[in-house]
Each structure stands twice: as structure tokens, then as C-alpha cells.
């Protein structure tokens, strides 16, 4: 299955709920599906957090209750199912906060960091996915050797944590978003370690050097269910070494704590008319047509605005040149999709500083969605009553027309269209 088929499959999910809930009851089925997808995304975040020593009994209890509500002949009430969806968003906010705390306590206070892109001469290992603890365990096991470790995809934000960035064996970053991995993993000569979701079934060209961890697995793959990466290290010795092929540098690390340390400066600049708007452009990327909307939109943002980005959706916009404004890069990379909590924290802090609601801020959210984590974050935003979100490139197919119309009416939800430049201009005009 290629990337386009993957995306199409997710958008066209089959009915899996109670007999008799299809047809005239498709709206109830739609809310059940929305809840299930949100729970899946939240479970992924909770799993990452638990591995870092962070858990919460209330979150676990809610997940049990919510899954129970989707069973056969349990809940046939639209209002209570929508309430559960919004509670899922509230619980997901708590989970993302736990994950953020776990990352900071384990890997240090984030800071902007310059990352070398490309490869260096010598044996190398490429790490993709989201699990920073796997990356850390691997780095400890190659310490003192000449093996270089590179991040890929959503692992790029690992460089903002000093404990990881300063490790002598972390050499830099290679590649882009997950849907490019078949070409990029084929080009990388060493073993690839896939730590979480967004791994594709490998072709024969690199199948024997792809390793996965725990729940992540592929047919005929080499799965590691513990923290011993000796098999990956041995493969790095057997494989051809990387060549010296630098591809420039990038800057990451604008964690919410970094931005909030400059909150007074940013607030005063807005009041003085020096910042026209903040744009949150990012989310989950995919391969289907229509995602160029986000790159075109970002390119159309004015020079006196800032773009906050996170998730693999950043790869749609990060290769453009945006310049600087007020001493900051205009494009501020806040981290993984796991770091969506940070954008919410910044928005809430700015609203408090301006003594207004989030919906009254000079802030636009232009979000690309693809998989279940994006649904969980989407529900979190709705649970906070955030309105005016632009979502795309397609409406979720598991959300029925009636439910989608309800969400549009309550939350002024918009879909990406064919005029990103005009949409960006209209957003600034409303400031």
C-alpha cells in the first residue's frame, strides 16, 4: 500500500460499531468513530508519557469509560457522545502536558539549537518516529564508538533538548517527512530504527536493515522489544558507511518555554503594531493532493508575522526562506506533533496577557490532519472552545455531513480551499 492509499484508507473507514447504527443513525456512528480515533491518538501520547515515568489514574479511567461507551448497545445518545468527544480533548490536554513534563525532566530544558543536515563520513544509524527515550538509549549504547546517529522525520525536535543535542554521537538530521521514507531510507546506507507510528512496509532494498521497537512492527521485520540495540549497532558495522554529504543547517527548539520567556516582548510588539499576526501552520502531513495549500499559505504570510509550526506538517513549509522579525526567525519550530501542547500553552498565555479570549487573539490556526494523534489534538482545541480553525486538505470521511455541519456552526470550522494567498490576506485583515 502506498502513502496515498494509506491516507485514503484512513479517510474512508468502514462501519465497525453496533448493528443498526448505520444509515439513519450514521451521525451517532460518526461521533463514535470520532471518539475512537481521538482515544487512539491519546493512547499513543499516554504511552510515550508512561515510558518517561508520567501517568495519571483519571486519564486511564476515562479511556476505559469512553471505550465502553462505544460498545454494542451501550450509548445511543448524540449529546452524551459529543460530550465524551470533548472530554477526550480535555483528557488529551492533560496527557500532552504529562508528556511535555516527561521530556523536559528527562532530557533537559529545551533551547534553540542549530542542526546539521545530511550525513558525515563513517558508520551511521538513522532513527525515525517519536520516541526520544529510544533515541537516548541508543546514544548511550554507541557512546565511545565512531558510529554516528541521525534523526529523521519527527525526531528532528530531539535536538532542542540539551541532553540529546550535546551527545557526541548525535551527528545531525537526515531526510524529511514520513511519506518520503521509502526513497530516503533507500538512500541511507546504514540501519534504520523506527520507534513509533509513521513507518511504512519496507521494500526489499532496505528490509534487512530496518528495525522497529515494541508495538511498531512490519512483516518479516526485525522487532526489538527491549532496550538492547546491539543488533542495530552490529548492522551499522556490517552496512556500508555514510559519505560526507552535508546539506546545510536548520534551527529548531522554540519550545513553549522559550517563547513564553519572551512573552513581554511579544505582547508589547503586538500592542505597538509591530506584529500583524501569529500563524500556527503544521500538524500531520500526508501524500495526497491538496497539501501544497499549507506551503502556499505560509509563503503568503506577511513579513511582520510569525509562523509557529510543529508535527511533520512542518516539512511542507520549512524549506522556504522567511527571514527574521524583531530578532527572531519568522518560522519558529516548536517540535513534534507530541508538542502541540506547547502551541496551546502559548495561546492561553497570550490570551491571559491581553486579558481576552483565545478567539480574540491575532492568531490563525491552519492545521493539516492525517492520523489519530491529529484527531486527539483537534478534540483538545474544540474542548477549549477554540474557533475559526482551518482544517485540511480533506474533511474527515468518518465525520458525517450533519456532525460536520454541527462542528462548523459551533466552532466556525473552515476547510482549506483553492486560495491560500487570499485566505492568508483575509486573516491579517481581520486583526
Residues 388 and 114: their CA atoms lie apart, in Å, by 34
Q: Is 88 known to sit in a ligand binding site?
A: no
Annotated binding residue 40: no
Question: Which DSSP string do the residues of 132-175 spell out, in sequence order?
Answer: HHHHHHHHHHHTTSS-EEEE-GGGGGGGGSHHHHT-TTEEEE--
Nearest residue to 318 via CA among 304, 342, 335: 335
Is 373 known to sit in a ligand binding site?
A: yes
324 membership: H or E segment, kind and range: strand 324-325
User: Does the annotation flag 3 for ligand binding?
Assistant: yes
Q: Could you give the angle at which helices 57-69 and 26-51 cross, rounded to 10 degrees?
A: 150
Residue 95's φ and ψ, nearest 5 degrees, are -65, -45
Does the annotation list 33 as a binding residue?
Answer: no
Distance CA 49, CA 36 (A): 20
Q: CB within 8 A of 244, min separation 6: which ones?
A: 119, 120, 121
Q: Is 356 annotated as a binding residue?
A: no
Is residue 365 within 8 Å of residue 381, measured between CB atoms?
A: yes
Euclidean distance between CA atoms 35 and 330, whole angstroms: 36
Angle between helices 372-383 and 26-51 (to 10 degrees): 100
Largest distance between two CA atoms of the chain? 64
284 is in an annotated binding site: yes
CA 173 distance to own-chain centroid: 17
Positions at the binding site for hybrid [4Fe-2O-2S] cluster? 130, 154, 198, 284, 312, 337, 371, 373
Binding site residues, as ranges?
3, 6, 15, 22, 130, 154, 198, 284, 312, 337, 371, 373
Known binding residues for [2Fe-2S] cluster are: 3, 6, 15, 22
Amino acid at each position: 500500500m502506498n502513502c496515498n492509499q494509506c491516507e485514503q484508507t484512513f479517510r474512508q473507514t468502514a462501519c465497525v460499531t453496533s448493528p443498526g447504527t448505520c444509515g439513519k443513525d450514521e451521525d451517532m456512528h460518526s461521533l463514535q468513530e470520532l471518539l475512537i480515533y481521538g482515544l487512539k491518538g491519546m493512547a499513543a501520547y499516554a504511552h510515550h508519557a508512561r515510558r518517561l515515568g508520567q501517568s495519571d489514574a483519571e486519564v486511564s479511567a476515562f479511556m476505559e469509560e469512553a471505550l465502553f461507551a462505544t460498545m454494542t448497545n451501550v450509548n445511543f445518545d448524540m449529546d452524551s457522545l459529543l460530550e465524551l468527544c470533548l472530554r477526550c480533548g480535555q483528557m488529551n490536554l492533560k496527557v500532552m502536558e504529562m508528556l511535555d513534563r516527561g521530556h523536559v525532566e528527562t532530557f533537559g530544558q529545551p533551547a534553540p539549537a542549530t542542526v546539521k543536515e545530511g550525513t558525515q563520513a563513517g558508520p551511521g544509524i538513522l532513527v525515525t518516529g517519536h520516541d526520544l527515550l529510544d533515541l537516548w538509549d541508543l546514544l548511550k549504547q554507541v557512546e565511545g564508538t565512531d558510529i554516528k546517529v541521525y534523526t529523521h522525520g519527527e525526531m528532528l525536535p530531539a535536538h532542542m533538548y540539551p541532553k540529546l543535542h550535546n551527545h557526541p554521537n548525535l551527528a545531525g538530521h537526515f531526510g524529511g517527512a514520513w511519506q518520503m521514507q521509502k526513497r530516503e531510507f533507500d538512500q541511507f546506507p546504514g540501519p534504520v530504527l523506527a520507534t513509533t507510528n509513521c513507518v511504512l512496509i519496507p521494500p526489499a532494498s532496505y528490509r534487512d536493515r530496518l528495525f522497529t521497537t515494541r508495538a511498531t512492527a512490519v512483516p518479516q521485520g526485525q522487532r526489538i522489544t527491549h532496550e538492547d540495540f546491539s543488533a542495530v549497532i552490529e548492522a551499522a558495522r556490517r552496512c556500508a558507511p555514510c559519505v560526507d554529504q552535508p546539506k546545510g543547517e536548520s534551527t529548531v527548539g522554540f519550545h513553549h518555554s522559550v517563547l513564553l520567556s519572551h512573552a513581554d516582548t511579544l505582547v508589547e510588539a503586538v500592542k505597538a503594531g509591530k506584529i500583524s499576526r501569529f500563524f500556527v501552520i503544521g500538524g500531520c502531513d500526508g501524500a495526497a493532493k491538496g497539501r501544497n495549500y499549507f506551503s502556499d499559505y505560509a509563503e503568503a504570510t506577511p513579513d511582520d508575522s510569525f509562523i509557529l509550526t510543529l508535527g511533520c506538517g512542518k516539512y511542507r513549509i520549512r524549506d522556504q526562506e522567511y527571514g527574521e522579525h524583531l530578532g527572531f526567525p519568522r518560522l519558529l519550530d516548536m517540535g513534534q506533533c507530541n508538542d502541540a501542547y506547547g502551541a496551546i500553552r502559548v495561546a492561553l498565555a497570550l490570551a491571559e496577557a491581553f486579558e481576552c479570549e483565545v478567539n480574540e487573539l491575532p492568531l490563525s490556526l491552519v492545521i493539516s490532519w492525517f492520523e489519530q494523534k491529529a484527531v486527539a489534538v483537534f478534540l483538545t482545541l474544540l474542548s477549549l472552545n477554540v474557533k475559526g480553525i482551518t482544517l485540511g486538505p480533506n474533511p474527515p470521511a468518518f465525520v458525517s455531513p450533519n456532525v460536520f455541519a454541527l462542528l462548523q456552526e459551533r466552532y466556525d470550522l473552515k476547510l482549506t480551499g483553492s486560495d491560500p494567498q487570499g485566505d492568508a490576506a483575509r486573516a491579517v485583515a481581520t486583526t
